[in-house]
Every structure is written in structure tokens, then in C-alpha cells.
Chains A and B, each alone.
Chain A
């Protein structure tokens, strides 16, 4: 079974609009972490935002926020005020357990921002 599911292979958004990229996860661990990474066409992997399973507040980093709904096991990335430079692949990832250090990635969502 997929541990991390990203159901949107591609998304389009107009510049300056907000966009939500979906991520659902599956784990029986009580302690886990959720990450979002951006991969532009140049290929590097850029860390965006982190949410811990015990964090009560949704994480935010600048224009990125994570809509964490623990009961639904979802960790959606919200990008506000999209910019052309946001066009990239976005990956959701999970680290299960406090001491296991393996990131499990979803299949990614390709976001295209148009003027």
C-alpha cells in the first residue's frame, strides 16, 4: 500500500493566486514527520516546510503553509500568491517514527504557474 499519496499529477494556477497541493499519508506510528520538497526543472531538491505529528499548529514558512488534518491523515501544501518561479515538481514525504530516519516520498505533483 502507498504510504504517501499525491493524487494530482499536474496542477495549473495563475500567477498571484493560491494553490493547494494534496498529500495523504498512511502510518500506524504515533510519532512521524511530514515534509514538502520542491524540485525545479534544474533538478535540485529544495526543502520547503515540515510538520510534526504532535504539532498542534499548522506549519508556515513565508508563502508556504501546511494544512495538517491529522484525523484525515492529510498534509496539504498551500502556496499563496503564486509566482512564475513556483513552477516545479512538489513532493510530499513522511518520516515514520521518532528514530527511523527514512523519508518515504510520494509520486509528486507538477505545478505550472501561468501569467
Chain B
């Protein structure tokens, strides 16, 4: 069973479109995250949610809107896609802060903007 699953794995779309990436975890974790990995492989956190509550919101354009319908799901919606949004987006989950729990990552969604 996949612990953290993201769909789709690949997303190719045109500038200006709106798209969503879905993430689900079956680990029973309380905290979920979105990270962006750029073309140079640099990983940076975008958002984190703990029990459906937004905890971390880095300096991300407000075209990016995370939504957590329940603690097992964290989706990422992106409006008005731009060329610079091309990247790999990773969802992750953990048991949360305060303990040395690792973050478990999904396989990533490769977003390509034409």
C-alpha cells in the first residue's frame, strides 16, 4: 500500500490554465506538507497543515491555494499557471512537530507549463 500518494504523476498544461494536484496519506499522520523542487533540484516548503489547519505558509504566490478536506488529504490548486511554476511538487506527511518524526514523501508530480 502506498503511504503517501499523489495524482497525477505528470501534468502538462498551458500557461494561464488552472490545475489541481491531489495528495492522500494512509499513515494516520496529523501533518501534511507541500514542497516544490525546482529544475536545480532545490526543495523548498510551500505549506503545511496540521489537522486541517494551515500552519506554514511560505512566501508563495496566492495563485497557489492548498485545501485540506480532512487530515488524510491535502490538495494543491494552482490558478493562472505561469512558466515559472514548472517544477516537481511533492506532498509529504509526518506525525507532526515536537518529536523526531521524519516526513514521508509522495512520488512527486512533475508539472510542465507550455
- Give me the interface of A with B, judged by CB distance under 8 Å: 33, 35, 37, 39, 42-47, 50, 52, 89, 91, 93, 95, 98-105, 107-108
CA distance A50 to B42 in the complex (A): 20
CA distance A12 to B1 in the complex (A): 34
Other-chain residue from B33, B43, B107 in contact with A105 (beta carbon distance below 8 A): B43
- 10 cross-chain CB contacts under 8 A: A44-B105, A45-B90, A46-B105, A47-B105, A50-B100, A99-B97, A102-B48, A102-B58, A103-B43, A103-B45
Q: Which residues of A contact B105 (CB under 8 A)?
A: 37, 44-47
Q: Are A101 and B96 in contact (CB under 8 A)?
A: yes
- B7 CB to closest chain A CB (Å) equals 14
Interface contacts (Cβ under 8 Å), in number, total: 62
Q: Given A98-B97, A101-B55, A103-B45, A47 and B104 touching (CB < 8 A)? A: yes
Residues of B within 8 Å of A, CB-based: how many? 30
CA distance A95 to B45 in the complex (A): 12
Q: Are A44 and B108 in contact (CB under 8 A)?
A: yes
CA distance A70 to B110 in the complex (A): 37
Q: Which residues of A contact B110 (CB under 8 A)?
A: 43
